[in-house]
Structure 1
Amino acid sequence: MRGLCTSVRLSNADRFRSTYDRFSLIRGGSIDLSKDEDSGIALITLNHTERKNAMSGKMMCDLADVVTELESWSSGKGVIVHGAGRTFCSGGDLNFVKQIFSHEEGLEMSEFMHNVMTRLYNLPLISVALLEGVAYGGGAEIATACDFRVMSDQAKLGFVQARMGVLTGWGGGTRLVGIVGRSNALKILTSAKVMESHECKRMGLVDEIFPEGGSSMALTQKWLQQYCVTDSSLIQSFKTVVANADRHLDVLMEERKLFSQTWSSDLHIQAMKQNIKH
C-alpha cells in the first residue's frame, strides 16, 4: 500500500478519498447505524465480534460514512456508540495494522482517523459511548470522541498504546487531557494501565456506571434522554456552541506527527511480533 504522504500535490479532500478507497478494501466487520426518528436518538454499532470489535480498514471507512450521515440528520438529538456482543472495541485490527506498517502509512491512517474522530466529536448531537467488555487502545480513543461515557461495572478500559511501543494515533491523547486533566492524562497514558469502572469514574473518565447485564442499553438510552428533552434544533445549536469552544486542530497535528514516528519504530515492531495480550 502506497502511503499518501508520498504525494504532496493532493488536497486534504483528495488524500481522504484516496485513503478511503484503499482502506475500504481491507475487510473485516462493519459499523452499523440505526436512527429512531421518534426519539431523535441514533445507535452506532461497532460490529466485528470475532475480533472484539477491532477496527479494520473497512470499519474506519464505514465510520466515516456514518458520521457523514449524522452530520445532516436535522431531527437528531443524540447518538449512542457501542460494540456488538457486549464488548466495546479492542483497538485496531492487527490484520489491518500489519498491512500499513510504514511511517508514511501510519501517518496516513492517523490523518484519516483524526478527520473521522474530530467530526464525531463535533457532531451536532449529544454523543455517549456505552462501554462494555473492553475498550483498549483505539477503542479507548473512540470513547474520548464522545461527549459522555457510561460504563458497565465489569468493563475495563485501557490506553495500552505504550505497551505496544506507539502513541495514541486517533487523537485520543489530546482529547483525554480535556476530559481528565493533564496529571491524570499522563498517568493513564504512560502507565498503560487497564482500569476498572470505578477507577475510571474516580478520574472523571466516565460519567456513569451501570450494573452488568441485559439492561445496559436501556439504561444508557434513559440516561441520554434527560439531555434530549427540548427541540432538536436547540440541542444541535447548544452542541455546536460547545464544540466550537474546544478546537484541537494544531495540537492534533503535533500528536499525529509524534504518532507516525513511533508507528514503524523498533519498539512497535517488537511488540507486534510478541502479539502482546492486554
Structure 2
Amino acid sequence: MEFKNLLIETADGVATLTVNRPQALNALNSEVLTELASAFYQLEYDPAVRVVVLTGAGEKAFVAGADIKEMAAMSSFEGHQFALKGQHCMMAMEKMKTPVIAAVNGFALGGGLELALGCDFIYASEKAKLGFPEVTLGIIPGFGGTQNLARLIGKNRANELIFTGRMIAADKAQAWGIVNEVFAPEELLVKAKETAAAIAGVGPLGVTYAKNAIANGLNMGKEDGFRYEASLFGVLFGTADQKEGMGAFVEKRKAVFTGK
C-alpha cells in the first residue's frame, strides 16, 4: 500500500516508518492518522517485519503535534471525533504484536509526544524537545497523553508537564523516565536500528508474548499478573520457536526462529 505522508523501508526484519510531512513539521492531521493506523496494521502482519522504528522526516521534528490549522475550526463534536480518531491510531500501535521503538529526532509535542508514548520505548536525540502544549491552546492532550504519561512517570510529574505546557529537553525526559536513552543526532537512528536488530534476532513469539504480558499485567493486580504470565509462559512451550531456541542452546548453535 502506498502512503502520501509516510515512508516505509524494511531490511533484515526491521521496518523504519517515517512520518513524512517535514514542511508541516510532520504534524498529525486526519489523513496522517488514517495512514498511520493502516501502516501499523500492514506492518504487524508483514512476515518480513519483526520490529518497527518510528521517526519523523527532517532534522527539526519527530512530530510537532496535531495539526492546529485543521483543529482550529472544529466544533465540540468534531473535536471529540478527532480525539477518538487519534486514540484509535495510538491503540492500534500499542496493541501491535510487533515492538515499536520511537526515534525522537526533534520536537515531540502534543500528539507527537502521544505518538512516542504509544511506542514500546523511546530513544531521543540530544536536540529533542518534548512536551504537551495543549493548555496554551485552551485544550488538553486528546490522543491518550493524560493517561499514558501519568502511568509512565506518575501523577505529579505528569501534572507538572501537562498543566504548564512547557517543553523539556531530552536529558530531563530521560531523568523523568520518559526516554530510555539520549544520543547525538547523527547516532540516533543508528542506535535505534541496532537495538531493533537485536530484538529482531531473538524469538519473535517470545517478544510478542512478553509485550502482551507487560502491557496487560499493568492493568491487573500483582497476583493476577503472575497467573497471566505463567499462562503465557506455558503456551510458549507448545511452539516450534521454544523447541528451536532451547535445542540450539543445548547444541551450542545459533537458533533460527520462524515465529511458529
> TM tier, shorter chain?
0.7 to 0.9
Which residue of 2 is the match for residue 85 of structure 1? 58
Which residue of 1 is the match for residue 201 of structure 2? 229
Report how far residue 233 of structure 1 moved: 2.4
Specify which of 135, 146, 150 is matched with residue 162 of structure 1. Answer: 135
One-letter amino acid of the counterpart of residue 160, structure 2: K
Which residue of 1 is the match for residue 103 of structure 2? 130
Specify which of 29, 39, 47 is matched with residue 56 of structure 1. Answer: 29
Which residue of 2 is the match for residue 271 of structure 1? none
CA contact (8 A) 1:35 1:43 kept: yes
TM-score (ref. length: structure 1): 0.73
Task: Report the more deviating stretch, 227-236 or 164-173.
Answer: 227-236
What is the 5 A alignment of 1:5-154? 30-36=5-11, 38=12, 40-86=13-59, 87-99=61-73, 101-154=74-127
One-letter amino acid of the counterpart of residue 232, structure 1: P
CA distance in 2, matches of 1:88, 1:148: 14
> Greater RCO between the two (CA within 8 Å, min separation 6)?
1
Task: Report the more deviating stretch, 101-110 or 235-244.
Answer: 235-244
CA distance in 1, matches of 2:48, 2:215: 19
One-letter amino acid of the counterpart of residue 172, structure 2: E
Report how far residue 231 of structure 1 moved: 2.1
Describe the superposition over 1:57-84 as per-residue Cα deviations: whole angstroms up to 9, x where unpaired: 2111101110111232345321111000
CA contact (8 A) 1:29 1:48 kept: no
Task: Report the more deviating stretch, 59-68 or 221-230.
Answer: 221-230
Specify which of 173, 184, 188 is matched with residue 200 of structure 1. Answer: 173
CA distance in 1, matches of 2:23, 2:197: 32
Specify which of 214, 223, 236 is matched with residue 242 of structure 1. Answer: 214
Unaligned residue ranges in structure 1 (runs of 5+):
1-27, 249-278
CA distance in 2, matches of 1:111, 1:195: 27
One-letter amino acid of the counterpart of residue 136, structure 2: R
Specify which of 180, 190, 194 is matched with residue 218 of structure 1. Answer: 190
Report how far residue 123 of structure 1 moved: 1.1
Q: State whether structure 2 residue 148 is matched by structure 1 residue 175.
A: yes
CA contact (8 A) 2:123 2:188 kept: no
Report how far residue 247 of structure 1 moved: 5.2
- Does the C-alpha gap of structure 1 residues 107 and 247 become closer, same or farther in structure 2, counting only changes over 3 Å? farther
In the TM superposition, structure 1's runs of 4+ consecutive aligned residues that sit over 2 Å from their partners are 31-36, 73-77, 223-229, 240-248
CA RMSD of aligned residues (A): 1.9
Aligned with 1:85: secondary structure?
A: coil
CA contact (8 A) 1:77 1:235 kept: no
